[in-house]
Copies of this chain bind each other. A is one copy, B any other.
Amino acid sequence: MQRLFNDPDDIVDETVSGFVRAHADLVSLSSANPRVVLARGCGETDRVGVVTGGGSGHEPAFVGYAGPGMVDAVAVGELFSSPTAKAFLEAMRAADGGAGVAVLYGNYAGDNMNVKMAARMAAKEGIAVRTVVANDDVCSAPAEERAKRRGVAGEILMWKVGGAKAATGASLAEVQATAQKAIDATRSVGVGLAPCTLPANGKPNFDIPAGKMEVGIGHHGEPGTEVADLESADAVADRMLQIVLDDHDLASGDRVCVLLSGLGATPINELYVVYDRIAVGLEDKGISIHRPFVGNYFTSLDMMGVTLTVMKLDDELAALIDAPATAPGMTVQG
Contact = CB atoms under 8 A, between A and B. Distances in A.
Interface of A: 2-6, 11-12, 14-19, 21-22, 56-57, 59-60, 193-194, 196, 208, 210, 213, 230, 232-234, 236, 264-277, 279, 292-294, 296, 299, 301-302, 304, 306, 326, 331, 333
B3 A304 contact: yes
Contact of A272 (B15, B274, B331): B15
26 contacts: A2-B194, A2-B213, A3-B193, A3-B270, A4-B193, A4-B233, A4-B236, A4-B266, A4-B273, A5-B232, A6-B232, A6-B234, A14-B272, A14-B273, A14-B276, A15-B269, A15-B270, A15-B276, A21-B276, A22-B279, A22-B293, A60-B268, A264-B265, A264-B267, A269-B301, A326-B333
A3 B302 contact: no
A204 B167 CA distance: 49
Nearest to A292: B22
A152 B4 CA distance: 21
B304 A22 contact: no
Contacts of A12: 269
B230 A2 contact: yes
Enumerate the 7 nearest inter-chain pairs by beta-carbon distance, A residue then B residue, closest first: A18-B276, A18-B272, A265-B265, A59-B268, A2-B193, A15-B269, A4-B270
B267 A233 contact: no
A292 to B, nearest CB: 5
Nearest to A260: B22
Nearest to A7: B232
Contacts of A294: 18, 22
Contact of A266 (B56, B272, B302): B302
A214 to B, nearest CB: 11
Nearest to A211: B2
A5 B233 contact: yes
Contact of A2 (B208, B273, B277): B208
Contact of A275 (B21, B60, B210, B301): B21
A261 to B, nearest CB: 11
A284 to B, nearest CB: 13
Given A3-B304, A333-B333, A273 B18 contact: yes
Given A11-B269, A266-B302, 14 more contacts: A2-B194, A3-B193, A4-B266, A6-B232, A6-B234, A12-B269, A14-B277, A15-B270, A18-B272, A21-B275, A22-B292, A22-B294, A302-B304, A333-B333
A47 B312 CA distance: 41
A301 B196 CA distance: 17
A269 to B, nearest CB: 4
Contact of A301 (B5, B234, B267, B273): B267
A5 B270 contact: yes
